[in-house]
Amino acid sequence: MNLDYLLFDIKRTLRNRRVLIFAVLMPLVLFLIFGASLKESDTEAGISAIAYVMVSMAMFGSMNATMSSGGVIATERDGGWNRTLRLTPLKPQAYVMTKVILSLLLAIPPMLVVFLAGMILGHVHLSAGQWISVALVSWLGALPFAGLGLVIGYVAKPDSVQPITGLTTMLIAAFGGLWLPVEQMPAVMKDVARLTPAYWTGLSSRSALSQSGLDMHALVVVLCWTVALGFIGLRRYRADTARA
Amino acid sequence: MTTTTAVTLTGVTKRYGEVQAVAGVDLAIRPGEVVALLGPNGAGKSTTIEVLLGLVRPDQGDVRVYGDSPTNAIAAGRVGVMLQSGGIIEDAKVGELLDLVAGLHQEPLQPQEALQRAGIADLKGRKMKGLSGGQKQRVRFAMAIIPQPDLIVLDEPTTGMDVEARRDFWASMHAETAHGRTVLFATHYLEEADSYADRVVLMRNGRIVADGTSAQIKASVSGRTIRATVPGADLAALAALPGVRDVETRGDVELLQCADSDDTLRYLLANTLAHDIEVTSADLEDAVLAIGAEQETLA
């Protein structure tokens, strides 16, 4: 990772307030809509239904915020920025790490806001340890989407990147069980869900709240997705020398 | 020879589909040379530069920058580059961009110093997207000198600048070359190649067609031009004069392209009322055009 590059990107991101506010508002509103119909006594997959939706919406929010980096990358590439970077000593691995860490930072605000809404408005009661554990695991769950945002940033053009990102986010969230609990899906859909990274990030995050403890299998799948997508992003960065 | 060249291209070719962008280029640049890569659009200048910088892998041939691969030379901070367009982030501030580039290098010039040398210390807090084309070029120039490179590569650096901005730019550039830096710049402005380069490499259709000092290239084209006002001039008769290759009329002035201007002059003075006579040798533009015409004939 390169700290100067990270700071450079953070400053630019913080100037773009509309995007930041939208990234926080969307999952919050969705949580309030989905959560409003639930009673505190409802349960789903062994945990409180409101907690289930809270985790799902936090995951959705972080995924949404993380994937927005694809749009930024596509625009940067279009302006020939990657050629400039390639003509500096910045190593491709450092570039990918920097972009992934930036995405992880972007994932924090929407997750925190949804968790706070769950705590205050949804009356989700968790021990301090559980809060920390669910927050950390959910945060790690943003990793594959940081990789996916990177890859989309390299595949898409600036004018197509928004719809591609939007559609991908929606499909993954819907089929991965972030909007409709996997437990309520028909068998075929459950199989499809397992093909999406969101299924595994949701599973690992919820496991932080269950009695049986962290689902290590799910965590390993999440990390595999991250490595695979990060590697593709790395290859694409290396290959990309398009003129402005 | 143990001296390492700054740049060595050996037998470089690059094809894009049907277009042979670079068709066998051999070029060695010694440390300290200021070289202009001159040629019309599509001559292969940009591709040659991209190959030299490792942005494009040549189909054939070898590239060395200070005896190493371009990537390693760049990683070592030995190369500063100013590309033709783009390459910046529009929503970033000038100072932020320079801080970043400095942060990516081992022994950078202080960003403030780079801004001053580029003559844009006052633009530090401005966003890129509000700047004029010429101002952006100066930011790119500041970015190029931050690594304190041994070699500066500039691809059409003054595109989009007005005459004054261009002159200022070259003044800043001169200050850099005074430190013994090697410079390679691509341009299609003959005047820039003529005024600022020690050596002019002329490219056409992906090949180097002439290589030497601007004086050598001019000398490669024989003949001189006589300008004279010739009352009652008859074009056909003038064209038939001894030593004349071609005649052109501009207003009341005749331009006589001569293989042997002395013979023509003797005749003009002895047999016509020609006055206001000027004799000039070919300038770089004539040389370039002549070399181009020669190439067309050969092709």
pLDDT tens digit sequence for B137-190: 999 999 999 999 999 999 988 887 888 888 888 888 888 888 789 999 998 888
Alpha helices (H) in B153-271, listed in sequence order: 163-177, 190-196, 214-219, 235-239, 261-271
Residues B197-207 pLDDT 10s: 999 999 988 99
Q: Per-residue confidence at B298, pLDDT binned at 50, 70, 90?
A: low
- The chain B residue lying nearest A94, using CA atoms, is B104
The whole-number pLDDT of residue B193 equals: 87
- The chain B residue lying nearest A243, using CA atoms, is B86
The average pLDDT across B267-278 equals 87
The whole-number pLDDT of residue B1 equals: 46
Nearest by Cα to A62 from A115, A2, A118, A99: A115
Contacts of A95 in chain B (CB under 8 A): none
- Taking an 8 Å cut-off on Cβ atoms, the answer to whether B55 and A83 are in contact is yes
Between the two ends of chain B, the Cα-to-Cα distance in Å is 37
The average pLDDT across A47-63 equals 90
Tokens for A24?
């926080």
Calpha distance B273→A66 (Å, rounded): 84
What interface predicted TM-score (ipTM) does this complex get? Answer: 0.85
Residues found in chain B: 299
Tokens for B135?
């101002």
B92 touches chain A (CB under 8 A): yes
Contacts of B54 in chain A (CB under 8 A): 86
Q: Is B243 left (phi over 0), alpha (psi -120 to 50) or beta?
A: left
- Taking an 8 Å cut-off on Cβ atoms, the answer to whether B87 and A12 are in contact is no
β pairing state of A43-44 and B182-187: unpaired
From residue B144, alpha-carbon distances to A176, B74, B152, B157 in Å are: 47, 12, 7, 11
The average pLDDT across B15-33 equals 93
Other beta carbons less than 10 A from residue B271's beta carbon: 9
The whole-number pLDDT of residue B250 equals: 85
Interface of A with B (CB under 8 A): 2-5, 8, 11-12, 15-16, 76, 79-81, 83-91, 241, 243-244
DSSP string computed for A108-153: HHHHHHHHHHHHHTS-----HHHHHHHHHHHHHTTHHHHHHHHHHH
- Taking an 8 Å cut-off on Cβ atoms, the answer to whether B103 and A4 are in contact is yes
B101 touches chain A (CB under 8 A): yes
The average pLDDT across B208-218 equals 85
A35 with A50: CB under 8 angstroms?
yes
From residue A179, alpha-carbon distances to A53, A56, B16, B101 in Å are: 8, 7, 48, 43
pLDDT at A179 over 90: no
State whether residue B153 is helix, strand or coil. Answer: strand
- Taking an 8 Å cut-off on Cβ atoms, the answer to whether B88 and A79 are in contact is yes
pLDDT at B295 over 80: no
Mutate one of A87, A91, A95, A99 to test the B interface: name it (highest B CB count within 10 A). A87
| Residue indicated by tokens 């940067």 | A76
Q: What is the DSSP letter of B93?
A: B
> Is CATH 3.40.50.300 the classification given to domain B7-219?
yes
The average pLDDT across A196-221 equals 88
Calpha distance A106→A71 (Å, rounded): 14
Calpha distance A43→A48 (Å, rounded): 4
pLDDT at A244 over 50: no
- Taking an 8 Å cut-off on Cβ atoms, the answer to whether A244 and B87 are in contact is yes
Contacts of A5 in chain B (CB under 8 A): 100, 103-104
Contacts of A90 in chain B (CB under 8 A): 104
- The chain A residue lying nearest B84, using CA atoms, is A244
Name the minimum distance, in Å, from the CA of B48 to any CA of chain A: 14
The average pLDDT across B210-218 equals 84
Q: Which residues pair with B279 in a beta bridge?
A: B226
Name the minimum distance, in Å, from the CA of A26 to any CA of chain B: 25
Calpha distance B174→B204 (Å, rounded): 27
Calpha distance B97→A76 (Å, rounded): 13
- Taking an 8 Å cut-off on Cβ atoms, the answer to whether B103 and A3 are in contact is yes
> Is CATH 3.40.50 the classification given to domain B224-281?
no
Q: Per-residue confidence at A212, pLDDT binned at 50, 70, 90?
A: confident
Calpha distance B40→B35 (Å, rounded): 16
Question: Radius of gyration over alpha carbons of chain B, in Å?
Answer: 23
B28 with B5: CB under 8 angstroms?
yes
Domain spans, chain B: 7-219, 224-281
The average pLDDT across B257-278 equals 85
| Cα A26 from chain centroid (whole Å) | 13
Query: A-B interface: how many C-beta pairs under 8 angstroms?
Result: 80
Contacts for B294 with CB less than 8 Å, ≥ 6 apart: none
B146 with B103: CB under 8 angstroms?
no
- Taking an 8 Å cut-off on Cβ atoms, the answer to whether B96 and A12 are in contact is yes
The whole-number pLDDT of residue B107 equals: 92
State whether residue B273 is helix, strand or coil. Answer: coil
- The chain A residue lying nearest B91, using CA atoms, is A12
B240 touches chain A (CB under 8 A): no
B286 touches chain A (CB under 8 A): no
Report percent pLDDT > 70 for chain B.
94
Calpha distance B151→B56 (Å, rounded): 18
B171-204 burial by CB neighbour count: b if 16+ within 10 A, else e?
ebbeebbeeebbbbbbbbebebbbebbebbbbbb
The average pLDDT across B107-127 equals 93
- Taking an 8 Å cut-off on Cβ atoms, the answer to whether B74 and A84 are in contact is no
Contacts of B92 in chain A (CB under 8 A): 8, 12
Q: Which residues pair with B203 in a beta bridge?
A: B208
Contacts of A84 in chain B (CB under 8 A): 83, 87-88, 143
Sheet holding B224-229, edge to edge: B244-250, B253-258, B224-229, B275-281
The whole-number pLDDT of residue B222 equals: 64
